[in-house]
Amino acid sequence: MTQTTTDHRTRRPSGSGIVPVLAFAGIVVAVMQTLLVPVIKDLPELLGTSPSNATWVLTSTLLAGAVATPIMGRLGDLYGKRRMLILSLTVMVVGSLIAGFTSELLVMIVGRALQGFAMGAIPLGIGLMRDELPREKLGSAMALMSSSIGVGGGLALPVAALVAQNADWHALFFLSAGLGALSILLTVLVVPESKVRAEGTFDVLGALGLSAGLVLFLLPITKGSDWGWTSGTTLGLFGAAAVVLFLWGVMELRIKAPLVDLRTTARPAVLFTNLASIMVGVAFYAVSLVLPQLLQLPVSTGYGLGQSMVVAGLCVAPLGLTMMFTAPVYARISARYGPKVTLMIGMLIIAIGYGAGLGLMSAAWQTVVIAVVLGAGIGLAYSSLPALIVGAVPPSETGAANGLNSLMRSIGTSVSSAVIGMVLANTANNVNGVAIPTMHGFRVSFLIATGAVLVGLLFAVFLPSQRQATKPRLRAASEEDAAVERAHEVLGGFRGRVLDAEGGPIARAKVTLIDRRGRQAGATLSAEDGSYALAVPTDGAYVLAARATGHGPRASSATHAGDDRPVEVDLALPSEKAGVPA
């Protein structure tokens, strides 16, 4: 049986320093991802290899990040999120140093793969925020952490372009290593370790199975254009991925402490959030592929804007900066309407941005407008995703669930890269043996992104509309405040009073909700009048267990239909000397 042990620490009321330090870690990870964008076209020459081999420098980072994200999330739930965050950043620094001292293809691939392991930092950071921050700060903090991937990418593009134009390109890796080392130092000094743990052992077979399935799935996506989409290698890998992931899913459903709880993942609130995340990932990466190329193409093409690498980076930078500024906007909208509505608003803005972009590609300032509009929409959408996940899973699964959600976004960006890369290649003009992307290809890419985000909007419509299903079960500044807030805010789930043998109220009694698999699904403290309230993650049978100092424990079975109507369950605790009633 897997249970959750929650040892609440004394928190700093303001969450001092934690938010900027964790957000900085997310920005560092994003910088690592976009580090080589300015020199992508030059990689074959820099590494003395063919263009198809050079793409492994990017593919290795993607594959390592996809594998590491859910695994590091689960390890964080089991052994400490701060510890795993530091480990992720340390591996990234080692990878950066390896890549910084080599121009050999194979060694560079190893270094870039190690850099990819840092992708687990974002779900780990979100998990730490949930565990450590007071309620009133958590919404905007998670929004900032989630959007940090865009912030870092937007800032990194012009800086990386400037470094690549004026210094040895290896300096990019030393810059990444320095930022990673600074992030580790700040994390050690400022961020406390979470005491929220999921008891049990790490699912090694599950990790190996998921890793194999992801590699088999993502490899043909990223290399399909080189191998041919109908080649035996591509189709064979897709088929192998389907078989491996199916067998992995069967195995995960049968073990007590799986790497990914597929039953939790199948809940509508989690399932449709993850599906929407894939579509947001597709939309996010499309603009990153199209605008830099359009800006740098020569004016002689008739549609290119003839800008330098640095200017192109500066024009796209507002995409990430706008994502950062939408975090407080997200917090206000979600506080009033919930993260589901915020997600839908964000997706509508993205669709408007891409639609307007079809006619705004004739000047550099127009690309800045597109970047700002898309940044606002993507920022709102990305900020909503962790809140939806956190509100649908128990605290012990926060790291793993957010890791899986980050993986879904990565899959979206991978699919976007493959599909749009194929579109641009198939619509390109051949000039003196060089493939030049066309305006038609750029517009088709924008249409694909628009279609993807509209599909994501449809998925968002199917998210549960109940506020308690999407509103994160967060902590107030103190446990006493949290108990009172839960007693007054939970619309559905279970509620009642904890009483003594004479019918008097018991304050600060620990009430735990246990699901049919024996896992903790929620916990709270009773208020001064003995009242408690607990939301339910889904319908079904539960056990409510209560204990308090000076009283014996009491457990009661109850069933909830999963709707807005609360089920009343009073829990009468015997005096300690009376023992536990039969």
Question: Do 503 and 530 sit in the same domain of this protein?
Answer: yes
- Is 216 domain-assigned? no
Q: What is the pLDDT of residues 53-97, one digit of tens each?
A: 887 887 788 788 888 888 888 888 888 889 999 999 999 999 999
Q: Give the whole-angstrom CA distance, residue 347 versus residue 208.
A: 35
Q: Give the whole-angstrom CA distance, residue 118 versus residue 87.
A: 9
For residues 328 and 348, the answer to whether their CB atoms sit within 8 Å is no
- Is 52 domain-assigned? yes
Per-residue pLDDT for 578 more than 70?
no
Question: Do 466 and 561 sit in the same domain of this protein?
Answer: no
The secondary structure of 554-571 as a DSSP string is EEEEEEE-SSSSPEE--E
Contacts of 411 (CB under 8 A, 6+ apart): 66, 218, 278, 281
DSSP lists the bridge partners of residue 545 as 512, 555
- Is 33 domain-assigned? yes
Q: Give the whole-angstrom CA distance, residue 495 versus residue 490.
A: 8
Distance of CA 173 to CAs 23, 88, 113, 176, Å? 21, 16, 13, 5
Give pLDDT, residue 261. 75
Chain-wide mean pLDDT for the chain? 80
Q: Which amino acid is at 373?
A: V
Pairing label, strands 571-572, 494-499? parallel
Question: Do 380 and 503 sit in the same domain of this protein?
Answer: no
- Is 215 domain-assigned? no
Burial of 478 (0-12, 13-18, 19+ CB in 10 A): middle
Question: Do 196 and 94 sit in the same domain of this protein?
Answer: yes
pTM: 0.68
Question: Do 487 and 442 sit in the same domain of this protein?
Answer: no
Per-residue pLDDT for 479 more than 50?
no
Burial of 248 (0-12, 13-18, 19+ CB in 10 A): buried
Specify the number of domains making up the chain.
2
Among 2-11, 311-320, 325-334, 485-494, the range scoring the smallest mean pLDDT is 2-11
Q: Tell me the average pLDDT across 34-39.
A: 76
Question: Do 351 and 441 sit in the same domain of this protein?
Answer: yes
Give pLDDT, residue 459. 92
Q: Tell me the average pLDDT across 438-463.
A: 90
Task: Please give the backbone phi and psi of residue 418, each rounded to the nearest 5 degrees, phi first.
Answer: -70, -50
- Is 490 domain-assigned? yes
Give pLDDT, residue 484. 41
Give pLDDT, residue 491. 45
For residues 224 and 418, the answer to whether their CB atoms sit within 8 Å is yes
What is the extent of the structural domain holding 118? 4-203+255-470
Q: Which amino acid is at 535?
A: A
The secondary structure of 193-211 as a DSSP string is PP-EEE-S---HHHHHHHH
Structure tokens at 391: 């509100």
Give pLDDT, residue 454. 93
Question: Do 44 and 164 sit in the same domain of this protein?
Answer: yes
Least Cα distance to 519 among 497, 541, 552 occurs for 541
Contacts of 433 (CB under 8 A, 6+ apart): none
Per-residue pLDDT for 373 more than 50?
yes
Contacts of 178 (CB under 8 A, 6+ apart): none
Among 88-102, 242-256, 325-339, 487-501, the range scoring the smallest mean pLDDT is 487-501
Give pLDDT, residue 395. 65
Q: What is the CATH number of the domain that holds 487?
A: 2.60.40.1120
Give pLDDT, residue 489. 42
Give pLDDT, residue 120. 82
Q: Tell me the average pLDDT across 543-559.
A: 85
Least Cα distance to 91 among 25, 188, 194, 180 occurs for 180
Instruction: Please identify, among 470, 492, 511, the residue that sits at the C-terminal boundary of a domain.
Output: 470
- Is 189 domain-assigned? yes
CB count within 10 Å of CB 228 equals 12
Structure tokens at 2: 């897997």
Question: Do 458 and 495 sit in the same domain of this protein?
Answer: no
- Is 220 domain-assigned? no
Beta strands in 170-286 (DSSP E): 196-198
Give pLDDT, residue 10. 38
Question: Do 13 and 161 sit in the same domain of this protein?
Answer: yes
Instruction: Please identify, among 421, 449, 470, the residue that sits at the C-terminal boundary of a domain.
Output: 470
> Where is pLDDT greater, at 169 or 198?
169
Instruction: Please identify, among 438, 470, 502, the residue that sits at the C-terminal boundary of a domain.
Output: 470
Per-residue pLDDT for 208 more than 70?
yes
Structure tokens at 549: 């100092």
Q: Tell me the average pLDDT across 527-556.
A: 83
Q: Tell me the average pLDDT across 14-24.
A: 77
Q: What is the CATH number of the domain that holds 434?
A: 1.20.1250.20
Q: Give the whole-angstrom CA distance, residue 279 versus residue 405.
A: 12
> What torsion do the CA atoms of 310, 167, 23, 463 make, to the nearest 10 degrees?
50
Go through the chain and tell me how many residues it has. Answer: 582
- Is 373 domain-assigned? yes
Q: Tell me the average pLDDT across 2-26.
A: 60
Question: Do 496 and 380 sit in the same domain of this protein?
Answer: no
Q: Of 227-231, 306-310, 484-488, which one has max mean pLDDT?
A: 227-231
Q: Give the whole-angstrom CA distance, residue 241 versus residue 345.
A: 35
